[in-house]
Chain A
Amino acid sequence: MKKYINLFFGLLGVFALVTSCGNQGKSASSGALSSGAADRVYVAPGEYDEFYAFFSGGYTGNLTVYGLPSGRMFKEIPVFSQFPTNGYGYSEETKPMLNTSFGFVPWDDAHHPDISQTNGELDGRWIFINGNNTPRIARIDLTTFETAEIIEVPNSAGNHSSSFIIENTEYVVAGTRFAVPVPQRDMPIKDYKGNFKGALSFISVAPKTGRMDIKFQLMMPGFNYDLSHPGRGKSHGWFFFTTYNTEEASTLMEVNSSQNDKDFIAAVNWKKIEEYVNNGGGTIMPAEYAHNVYDDHTHTATSTMKKEVLTVDPTKVPGAVYFLPTPKSPHGCDVDPSGEYIVGNGKLSADLTVHSFTRMLEAIENEKFDGEAYGIPILKFEDVLAGVVSQPGLGPLHTEFDGKGNAYTTFFISSEVVKWKLGTWEVLDRQPSYYSVGHGMIPGGNSQKPFGKYYISMNKITKDRYLPVGPEMEHSAQLYDISGDKMELLYDFPTHGEPHYAAGIPAEKLIANSKKIFKLSENKHPYAALTANDTKIERDGKDVHIYMSTIRSHFTPDNIEGIKVGDKVYFHITNQEQDFDVPHGFAMIGATNAELLIVPGQTKTLLWEPKKVGVWPFYCTDFCSALHQEMQGYVRVSPADSDLELSWSLGED
């Protein structure tokens, strides 16, 4: 405990030191306001933003879409969480998306979105994001802006060093934060050290369809794998992971995992392991993990439980993994656009450590090892070091790059963003963040070609930035113009949930691909009513299937009789509109799930289990048309023993 208190006061001391620097930065920023910051974030009515920005929702489990520079939110895309707004995770079609080996898990903690790439540049086909709590990776289709696929990651816990994309989207990579017993078993927690494992999963992405499959899991020592980024350009073929808790402590982690002067960045030569695996290497082990795929034609998700996974012991593949000593529990692991520099943001260090890929290769070549950990060679710190950014701030977390030779590092404790120069390691500028920034984002940040015009800081503490709304509030983001020598704070806007990381892309890469409707002629849903003549009701024991259609401004049918208490009534609703932005909603009184929001050409299903006799209304929840308010109907529910036959109608008196 004493040690803990010492650390606390130590931090306070440096905190005071650094905040005095921060104040100097603040006075420089006042120039931004006088040079028309408002004009530079203003997007006139009807005009479009220059960039899309996808913010992870953190504990919302979802992904939100914003525009830059305006900071306007366009959409929340449900990914890992049930979303009553449109019925995701409630409708029969989307329930399988949230299936896992633990059963139906309606929530997750979404952290790090990353956009697909071709030749090291953003291609805007898909965006991937990790579920941290029940380890999962999701793929979102950027033509529909809907979740297309979710794969669970076995042998993992706290899926945090995820989901990062390699330069041709060969793999999306997912690393475990918690080391766990593999396979899981009943054992004393104190026997962690030496017995737990840290799985790093390389999930292949099919080039055309984007379909994900776990190619292999690298079973690393039981450290905590915090964050990761791919090599690119010259370092393509390698992947870098920061670690903490190389002490392998299992309790009072904030102290016990902070004792080693240096933890590691694990450098993984995935190409070497891929080759090993392609030649039959690795061990297939039993596992259980869900693979959920949504089909745009059936408008339905299917969940398949996979039974095995290929694991690789890193010591069996010589030359595949090395440890780079990095001071003080590094958090962010960031690789510059050229692929030469690997930045370890040692969050308890006052300095920023930058490793050199070229020097790393030389050290490996010359076998300059400084011992090993669990059979994995440790390189000498001095031999891999490219440089140190000296005393830039306190609590470095994450670094982004502008593609012009500059890096931008966030400092949580001193609450600022610091711009520094790659190669010379000199600090060029610093700007305060409000307050305690976590990640920062430059569009194209994880690629060879960043678009270095704006920088967004995602702040962990909001406090007084906006009108007060009680003790709980949204998080805050700040937009900086980084096109000049100095960063200029332009704008401040709230973000939904707790965004951890974000991914940005020039708007013109996505606009033309965004779908407006689903074609009814391509709807392959088994219960679709493609024309008004396809509407009908079928009874199969207690299951009642209603093939219902919507078109402005009525349901077909809108009068239904013959439903009985105890039935399971499936409303299969097809929106027959083929016009942009004419969704219809469906809500049934007493339904214990949610509503449905059905876009043109889509079919969705809501399950209703009537419990009371009576005549019960349903209605359209989306103000679809001038006669929206008339878009309603009735279901007559008779006692369970009633002999009333099913009947249905529209427009009959």
Chain B
Amino acid sequence: MSDINLELNKISMRFGGNQAVDHVSFSVTKPELIGLIGPNGAGKTTLTNVLSGMLKPSSGTIYLNGKRIDGHPAYDVTRAGLGRTFQITRALGRMTVMENMMVPGLALKPNARKADLEARAQEILGMLTIEHLTHELSRALSGGQRKLLELGRLLMLEPSVIILDEPFAGVHPRLQETIYKYIFRVHEDGKAIILISHDMGAVFELSQRLLVLHNGALKERSGCNRRLPRP
């Protein structure tokens, strides 16, 4: 039980007559990298929104690091240790890249020294190869750079569980490589990752375990032959 980071018990989400998520149960231990796949409309994003506190589930319970979080507001779930990215990037457009990084930093560590947080942010931006954009407004960034910024903001949260929603969508192959490295590094740091992607190659390559959603229900769980980490 102590190794379990995230545990879902019969989570359901209904919008009127539409059963978007149907009694989904699974758990994530650390450090584990899980692929969550399914066709469009399968309920992947809804499940992500339920997990991250954006939506209150119709029924079921969610525990994160032993704390019950279902129905809690998103900021509370984040502070409890769950970080997420969005399918369509949501950079804070009229704020600089550094300010984007400082929002999670200061929200989670209000008493930390600003200089320390900025140094940490700079280090993360360096890892993501966008440190030269520190003072740029994030609306001036390209789509791929915004993806990297979202990943950087996640690290400022220091979450124990990370949900990556379509991190490779519409991204140049060279930038994909950076995201790959990011995922490996974060995973090696001991964080649990749930990877949602339509890029089957990437999911099969990265995941240790696969969950398949179909019409809101969990249809299949299977192991994956994950390759050795890239250098």
- Do they bind each other? no
